[in-house]
Each structure stands twice: as C-alpha cells, then as structure tokens.
Amino acid sequence: MTKASTLKTIKAPIEKELKEFDPYFRDAMRTKVRLLDVINRYIIKRKGKEIRPILVFLTAKLCGEINPSTYTAATLTQLLHTATLVHDDVVDEAYERRGFFSINALWKSKVAVLVGDFLLSKGLLIALDNDEFKQLKVVSESVKEMSEGELLQIEKSKKLDITEEVYFDIIYKKTASLIAACTQLGALSVNADAETQEKMKQFGAYLGIAFQIKDDLFDYDKQAAIGKPTGNDIKEKKLTLPLISVLRNCTPKEKRWALRSLRKHNKNKDKVQELIAFVKEKGGIEYTRDKMFEYKTKAEAILTTFPDSEIKNAMLALVHYTIDREK
C-alpha cells in the first residue's frame, strides 16, 4: 500500500467531518489585521497532513458520536500545534518548513513570535467561548509539558548528559504530550468515561513517542526526504536515542571521541558524517528501531480492546503510517 493510499484509508471514516472542519478552522484564524490575515492564509495554504485533527475525530468516533464539541477540540489542537511550529522555527532559527519558507524567514522573528502568540491565544479563546473548560485544562497541561520539554532539552544539550530515561521524558513532553491531548480530547468531546479518556490519552502518548523516535531516526538516514539535512540534530548538539544507546555501551575512549565530536566539531560536515557512521556501526539504529516498534505495539494493544470497526482499522493504519512514513 502506498503512503497516499494509507492516508486515504485513515481519513475515509471521517472524510465528511474533515471537509466540514476546513472552513471551521479557516474561520477561527480570521482577523481584521491585514498583515496577520495574509500570514494566516500563507499558513493555511501550506498546512501539513492535519494528523492532530484527524486523531481528534477518529478517537471521538471510536468512543462515541462526533458533535460540535469535537470540532472545537480539533480546532484547538490544530491552532496550538501551528503556534508551536511557528515558535519552534524562531527558536531553531529555521528558515524552511515543509519545503517552504518559514514565517520568520519571510516576516522576521518578531512577527513570527507574535503570530504564534495570536494562534495560541485564539485557541484558548475558542475553548472559553464554547465553555469547554475541561478541554482548556487538557490543552494547558500540554502547553506546559511542551515548554518544559524544550527547556529540558536545551539544558541537557549544554551538559551532554542525557540518559535514556531523560530522553524519553523530553520526547514525551515535547511531542507525545500534544498527541496524547488530541486523543484524550477526542474521547472527552463525546463524553466518554474517565477510564476510556485515560486509555486514549495513553494510546496517544505511545503513538507520539513512536512518532518522535521515527523523526530522530531520520537524522541518521541519508535517504530520508524530510526537508531537513541529515545530521541536523548533531549540528544542534541534540543527543537522541541512536547516539545515547551507543554511548552507553561503547568504550570510554570511543565515548570521549564521540562527545568531543558533538561538542567541538558539530558544524564540520565530515566529522558529523563520521559520528553518524559510528552510530550505525555500533548498532544505534537497530536499537532505536526496536524501541520504536515497542511503542507501536503498545499503541496497537490499546486499540485491540475496542470492537472491530472501520474506525479501529483506520487508527491501526495510522499507527503503521507513523513508523512507515518517509518524512
């Protein structure tokens, strides 16, 4: 099955809802400030696969009947996700996003920060305007986690002392917490019981961790067509699982060399490629893939507790897509 046909399978049970969601989301971003409106239209035209709203709608349909509260949840998560991408590009000084110029590349970082703030506040207001206080609590928790995760990674990148346990803490906070919020909100929007909400939150956490591990593997794969150069994490002195697992098992001499390369030669293309080759040779890629499949299996195990249906099959397809994707 091709990637396009897999996405089609995933979206099939919620095709109608996604079509209705599009104008709903556009309306949420509308503003009377011309500059902001121009930038928002630029963002909408270059939107990604909308995995987060898809997760909200699929989870809602798995646990009940989609209703106006579900559309609020989907809009809230997509606005939050978009805001974090805009802010991330400023933090990372990235001038490209999905093959297009980033907001800060076109309108500079000051405007980009303000646009991210607008999107974040707009999401919070939508929740309040619709009296979705429980949704607001879930999302606020996720925003807190994401900020903590980014700052924890920056702190550890300076010291280069990230253990596997800390790595998983960082990727849960940075990435998986929002995915978990999407699946929890989907269940919450259809008034699923507390146990089901918690179960779907856990599903999202496992899926999000697998998703981020896949992203970290891309950095060591020359064939990855992800719109960013190989070795980008190394250049930013980010210790991710492939290298963390190797550092734990290599000789003291090898560890000193690897950390020196990361600390002193992270901008040297040849040295970066040497470090990537070292990680591959020492089994870091295989170890990381095994961990990714471990979380994939945990996510699938939660879905097996639900009766067979088109929705369940679509969600299983999404789990597979997460680790099979090429970008």
pLDDT tens track for 264-298: 887 788 888 899 999 999 999 999 999 999 999 99
pTM of the full structure: 0.89
pLDDT of residue 4: 54
pLDDT of residue 206: 98
pLDDT of residue 99: 63
pLDDT tens track for 143-195: 999 999 988 988 887 888 889 999 999 999 999 999 999 999 999 999 999 99
With a CB cutoff of 8 Å and minimum separation 6, the contacts of 299 are 203, 206, 207, 210, 319
Among 117, 92, 93, 98, which Cα is nearest to 50's? 98
The pLDDT confidence band at residue 103, using thresholds 50, 70 and 90, is confident
pLDDT of residue 58: 97
DSSP string across 137-164: HHHHHHHHHHHHHHHHHHHHHHHT---H
pLDDT tens track for 228-243: 455 677 877 788 999 9
Mean pLDDT, the chain, integer: 86
Tell me the β-bridge partners of 100.
Answer: 97
**% of the chain residues with pLDDT over 90:** 54
The pLDDT confidence band at residue 88, using thresholds 50, 70 and 90, is low
pLDDT tens track for 2-59: 555 588 889 999 999 999 998 888 888 788 888 778 777 777 767 667 889 999 999 9
The pLDDT confidence band at residue 327, using thresholds 50, 70 and 90, is low
pLDDT of residue 227: 45
pLDDT of residue 221: 73
pLDDT at 222 over 70: no
Asked if residues 73 and 186 have their Cβ atoms less than 8 Å apart, the reply is: yes
CA distances from 196 to 44, 159, 200, 235, 291 (A): 33, 40, 6, 42, 26
Asked if residues 239 and 167 have their Cβ atoms less than 8 Å apart, the reply is: yes
Please indicate whether residue 196 or residue 38 has the higher confidence score (pLDDT).
196
The pLDDT confidence band at residue 109, using thresholds 50, 70 and 90, is confident
pLDDT of residue 226: 44
pLDDT of residue 131: 93
Spatial distance between the Cα atoms of 307 and 275, rounded to a whole number of angstroms:
47
pLDDT at 224 over 50: no
pLDDT of residue 100: 67
pLDDT of residue 161: 81
Among 28, 81, 85, which Cα is nearest to 56's? 81
